[in-house]
């Protein structure tokens, strides 16, 4: 949520900032802005409502300099508008600041310190830049004024501040929101995500919560909350520029759907040996085996993957598993078992709702593992253990390959634990082989794009609502399939347990309502088909996705059989394509749906 960039020590600062913001647009795209300090005391502040392209259109050739900061916004306080776009400037124009996060006590700060200030917009951020000015007006040097402001501000933030009287320095600070410093030769950069500055450097330094950094062209100085100097090694980002480009694809989402088979193969390579054994850190396995209950904590798509993970883990390990929404768990923690183990699922590794749970669990001294796609992300650093998803950067807001990667890695984890416990079901499960069969089936489904696109025209062209139904893991897939459809096509879609529809929600089914049935489980196939008949008699336009061994000729999409534990890996793929084509048909931006952002770093 919101992305920030900064650069100091390079001639074409404005271009670099805009290019960086383009790479961060997934974090928010309702408004954007840059501030650049140029030669001869020239300063430029350019802001725009809308996308980075709108901002770029406003940047004239004279806007340039060697130092600058930029921001792309996902609105929390104050509607998307040019007035509320960052960077924000203090009354005397001396200080300019960008912020990612939420200042919780901004009303109190306004009351206590800023009653005489005329604020321009409605954002919490504006308070921060005025507070720095307040302490500066009271005689503190810039760094001290910034530090003083930080002691008062409560909430989450990544800040970057420039003082026009000393444009040789960018002051940055971080608490709960992501922030990295990138090291260059004669210049340095800052960014919310390494992706933004990969074209400049691939050496980055992590900043911990509570730290403040003075960034100059040739040096950086990190201080902890007490003012002690901190030295931290840089690391090399394991990302290629080509991984984050769309290539010939019209949208990232389509590219990422197509990448799923290769992600499965990467997971096989990373977590299994040539002889098909699993390879996962023994310590993780021992901790989980010693526990009496696994709690999966996640949000959105990752939460939906968690339910599939529960089904696989329970069958392979005989350890009970609970799945919880992070935003609920943190504030309404259930009674925990005597020896709980926590698994965090998070593509980005930065989701604030999940992080607040992890912070509490760490305080309670409870063990945790994060499955994430982003090495070095906050949830990875703060959990006891990490397993990477190896999905490669996922840029489309709608998560696709991270979902299937989460399921695959959870399946490998389940198999590794099951084998240690000598569970016959696990011992007989050749995970490497079954995942590679799954990958091949994904490919056959992906090859059916034209058919899926035609079916979407028949089923979804004029619909304002739709249902996905299924039982057991098919229900879990229905939850994810409906999330995908609604978040990008804006068709109001619900994922429902097939048997539950008749207990109320069937009232919404009317002539022509599309109902997608997912049938991959022999135990429940007949019942789901019965439920599909019930809605059909009430006018529903049924669309059945079934496994070959359970299929009927009249089914719309038939998928080759896969191992019963891994059916979600393949049954989700057509639903991702259905969402994609429904969105294209409606003319919406597939990769950047309204109101959303990829990385949700506010609670
Ligand atoms: O990065 P995370 O997996 O923690 O993100 C959680 C959700 O915000 C995310 O899965 C979201 O639901 C998807 N982008 C929707 O496609």
C-alpha radius of gyration, the chain, whole number? 25
Q: Which atom of ligand 1 is nearest to the CA of 299?
A: 6
DSSP-derived letter for residue 176 is B
CATH of the domain at 414: 3.40.50.10490
3-state SS class at 458 = helix
In Å, how far from its chain's centre is CA 60?
33
* 149 and 252 within one domain: no
- pLDDT for the residue 27: 86
pLDDT higher than threshold 90 for residue 226: yes
Looking at the fold, whether 276 and 408 belong to one and the same domain comes out as: yes
Q: Which atom of ligand 1 lies nearest, measured to the CA of 402?
A: 3
| Residue range 265-310, pLDDT digits in tens | 999 999 999 888 999 999 999 999 999 999 999 999 999 999 999 9
Q: What is the CATH number of the domain that holds 135?
A: 3.60.20.10
Q: Does residue 275 share a domain with residue 239?
A: no
Average pLDDT over residues 409-418: 98
Residues 44 and 157 in one domain: yes
- Identify whether residues 115 and 233 lie together within a single domain: yes
Q: Is 2 noted as a catalytic residue in this protein?
A: yes
Q: Of 431, 447, 463, which residue is a domain's last?
A: 447
Domain boundary at 176, 211, 243, which? 243
Residue-wise pLDDT for 311-364, tens only, equals 999 999 999 999 999 999 999 999 999 999 999 999 999 999 999 999 999 999
- Residues 175 and 300 occupy one common structural domain: no
pLDDT at residue 136, as a whole number: 97
103 alpha carbon to ligand 1 midpoint, in Å? 23
- Whether 268 maps to a domain, the answer reads yes
Our CA dihedral for 345, 348, 353, 359, rounded to 10 degrees, sits at 80
Is 601 contained in some domain? Answer: no
- For tokens 């996922």, what's the residue? 394
Q: Could you tell me the CA-to-CA distances from 20 to 186, 200, 298, 302, 334 in Å, in that order?
A: 19, 10, 29, 27, 42
Taking residue 28's Cβ as centre, other Cβ atoms within 10 Å add up to 27
- pLDDT interval class at 78 (50, 70, 90): confident
- Mean pLDDT value of segment 59-68: 93
In the predicted model, what is the mean pLDDT of residues 368-396?
95
Backbone angles phi, psi at 333, to 5 degrees: -65, 125
Q: Is the peptide bond before 87 cis (omega within 30 degrees of 0)?
A: yes
Residue 286: per-residue pLDDT: 97
Kindly state if the Cβ of 399 falls inside 6 Å of ligand 1: yes
Q: Is the pLDDT of residue 1 over 80?
A: no
Residue among 251, 300, 356 whose CB has most ligand 1 atoms within 8 A, to mutate: 300
Ligand 1 close to Cβ of residue 302 (< 6 A): yes
Tell me, in angstroms, the distance from the centre of ligand 1 to residue 446's CA: 23
Q: To test the ligand 1 pocket, which listed residue (26, 299, 303, 572) has its Cβ within 8 A of the most ligand atoms?
A: 299
> pLDDT class for 75, splitting at 50, 70, 90?
confident
Flag whether 597 is in a domain. Answer: no
Contacts of 125 (CB under 8 A, 6+ apart): 77, 86, 88, 97, 98, 99, 103
Q: Are residues 513 and 383 in the same domain?
A: no
Quote the tokens at residue 58.
């406003």
603 lies in a domain?
A: no
* 397 Cβ inside 6 Å of ligand 1: yes
Give the per-residue pLDDT at 237. Answer: 87
Question: Contact at 8 Å (CB) between 477 and 571?
Answer: yes
Q: How confident is the model at residue 376 (pLDDT cuts 50, 70, 90)?
A: confident
Nearest CA to ligand 1 atom 2: 346
Cβ pair 259, 392 in contact under 8 A: yes
* Strands 235-236 and 88-89, sheet pairing: unpaired
> Which spans in 376-472 are helix H?
378-382, 401-420, 424-427, 431-446, 449-460
258 occurs within a structural domain: yes
Residue nearest to atom 11 of ligand 1 (CA): 300
- Measured between alpha carbons, how far is 447 from 449 in angstroms, rounded to an integer? 6
Provide the pLDDT confidence category of residue 9 given band limits of 50, 70 and 90.
very high
* 254 in any annotated domain: yes
Write out 76-90 in H/E/C secondary structure.
CCCCCCCCCCCCEEC
Tell whether the model's pLDDT for residue 247 goes beyond 90.
no
- pTM (predicted TM-score): 0.85
Do 571 and 490 lie in one domain? The reply is yes
- 380 in ligand 1 pocket by Cβ < 6 Å? no
Q: Cβ atoms within 10 A of the Cβ of 492, count?
A: 14
pLDDT bin (cut points 50, 70, 90) of residue 168 is: very high
**Measured between alpha carbons, how far is 409 from 233 in angstroms, rounded to an integer?**
30
Q: Is residue 161 part of a domain?
A: yes
Q: What pLDDT shows up at residue 76?
A: 82
Q: Domain check: are 174 and 271 in the same one?
A: no
95 CA distance to ligand 1 middle (Å): 35
Both 60 and 93 in one domain: the answer is yes
pLDDT confidence of residue 235? 92
If one counts the domains in the chain, the total is 3
DSSP 519: E
Span 159-177, average pLDDT? 95
Q: Residue 213 in contact with residue 223, Cβ under 8 Å?
A: yes
263 and 236 in a common domain = no
Distance CA 458, CA 542 (A): 11
How does residue 600 score in pLDDT terms, banded at 50, 70 and 90? confident
CA-based angle 179:132:32, to the nearest 5?
50
8 Å CB contact between 235 and 376: yes
The pLDDT tens digits for 497-554 are 999 999 999 999 999 999 999 999 999 999 999 999 999 999 999 999 999 999 999 9
Residues 237 and 265 in one domain: no
**What average pLDDT does the chain have?**
94
Angle (CA) 226 227 233, round 5°? 110
Q: Using the mean position of ligand 1's atoms as its centre, give its distance from the Cα of residue 406 in Å.
A: 12
Residue 598 annotated among the catalytic residues of the structure:
yes
487 lines ligand 1 (CB under 6 A): yes
Structural domain range at position 105 = 3-243
Report how far residue 78's alpha carbon sits from residue 68's, in angstroms, rounded to the nearest whole number.
Answer: 24
In the three-class reduction of DSSP (H, G, I as helix; E, B as strand; rest coil), residue 141 is classed as: coil
Ligand 1 centroid to Cα of residue 522, in Å, is 31
Is residue 595 included in any domain, yes or no?
no
**Angle (CA) 355 361 364, round 5°:** 150
Is the backbone of residue 178 left (phi > 0), alpha (psi -120 to 50) or beta? beta
| Domain final residue, candidates 399, 418, 447 | 447
Instruction: Give CA torsion, residues 598, 599, 602, 603, to 10 deg.
Output: 80
Cα of 562 from ligand 1 centre, angstroms? 26
**Residue whose CB lies within 8 A of the most ligand 1 atoms, among 600, 601, 603, for a mutation test:** 600
Q: Which residue has the tokens 């009653």?
A: 115
């Amino acid at each position: 949520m919101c992305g920030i960039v900064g650069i100091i020590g390079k001639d074409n600062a404005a271009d670099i900032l805009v290019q960086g913001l383009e790479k961060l647009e997934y974090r928010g795209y309702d408004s954007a802005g840059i501030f650049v300090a140029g030669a001869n005391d020239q300063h430029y502040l350019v802001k725009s409502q809308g996308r980075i392209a709108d901002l770029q259109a406003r940047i004239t050739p004279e806007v340039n300099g060697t130092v600058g900061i930029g921001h792309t916004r996902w609105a929390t306080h104050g509607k998307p508008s040019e007035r509320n776009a960052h960077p924000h400037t203090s009354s005397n124009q001396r200080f300019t600041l960008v912020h990612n996060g939420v200042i919780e006590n901004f009303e109190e700060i306004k009351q206590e310190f800023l009653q005489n200030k005329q604020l321009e917009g409605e954002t919490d951020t504006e308070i921060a830049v005025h507070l720095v000015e307040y302490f500066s007006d009271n005689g503190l040097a810039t760094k001290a004024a910034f530090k003083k402001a930080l002691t008062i501000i409560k909430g989450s933030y990544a800040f970057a501040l420039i003082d026009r009287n000393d444009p040789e320095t960018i002051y940055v600070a971080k608490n709960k929101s992501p922030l990295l410093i990138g090291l260059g030769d004669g210049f340095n950069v800052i960014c919310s995500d390494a992706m933004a500055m990969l074209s400049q450097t691939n050496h980055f330094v992590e900043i911990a919560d509570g730290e403040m950094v003075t960034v100059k062209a040739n040096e950086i100085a990190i201080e902890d909350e007490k003012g002690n100097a901190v030295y931290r090694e840089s690391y090399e980002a394991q990302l290629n520029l080509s991984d984050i480009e769309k290539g010939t694809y019209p949208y990232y989402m389509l590219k990422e759907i197509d990448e799923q088979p290769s992600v499965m193969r990467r997971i096989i390579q990373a977590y299994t040996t040539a002889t098909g054994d699993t390879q996962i850190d023994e310590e993780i396995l021992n901790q989980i085996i010693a526990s009496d209950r696994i709690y999966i904590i996640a949000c959105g798509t990752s939460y939906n993957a968690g339910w599939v993970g529960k089904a696989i883990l329970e069958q392979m390990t005989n350890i009970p598993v609970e799945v919880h929404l992070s935003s609920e768990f943190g504030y309404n923690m259930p009674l925990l078992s005597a020896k709980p183990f926590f698994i965090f699922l998070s593509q980005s590794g930065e989701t604030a709702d999940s992080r607040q749970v992890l912070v509490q669990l760490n305080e309670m001294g409870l063990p945790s593992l994060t499955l994430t796609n982003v090495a070095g992300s906050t949830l990875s650093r703060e959990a006891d253990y990490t397993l990477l998803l190896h999905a490669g950067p996922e840029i489309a807001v709608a998560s696709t390959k991270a979902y299937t990667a989460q399921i695959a890695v959870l399946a490998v984890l389940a198999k590794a634990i099951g084998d240690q416990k000598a569970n016959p079901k696990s011992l007989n499960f050749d995970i490497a082989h079954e995942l590679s069969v799954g990958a091949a089936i994904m490919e056959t489904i992906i090859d059916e794009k034209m058919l899926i696109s035609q079916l979407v025209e028949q089923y979804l062209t004029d619909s304002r609502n739709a249902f996905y139904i299924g039982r057991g893991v098919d229900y879990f897939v229905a939850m994810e399939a409906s999330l995908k459809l609604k978040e990008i096509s804006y068709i109001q879609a619900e994922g429902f347990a097939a048997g539950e529809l008749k207990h109320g929600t069937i009232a919404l089914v009317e002539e022509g309502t599309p109902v997608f049935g997912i049938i991959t489980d022999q135990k429940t196939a007949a019942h789901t088909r019965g439920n599909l008949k019930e809605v059909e008699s009430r006018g529903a336009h049924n669309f059945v996705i079934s496994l070959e061994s359970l299929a009927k000729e009249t089914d719309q999409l038939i998928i080759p059989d896969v191992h019963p534990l891994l059916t979600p890996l393949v049954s989700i793929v057509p639903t991702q394509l259905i969402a994609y084509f429904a969105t294209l048909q409606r003319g919406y931006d597939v990769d950047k749906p309204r109101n959303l952002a990829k990385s949700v770093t506010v609670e």
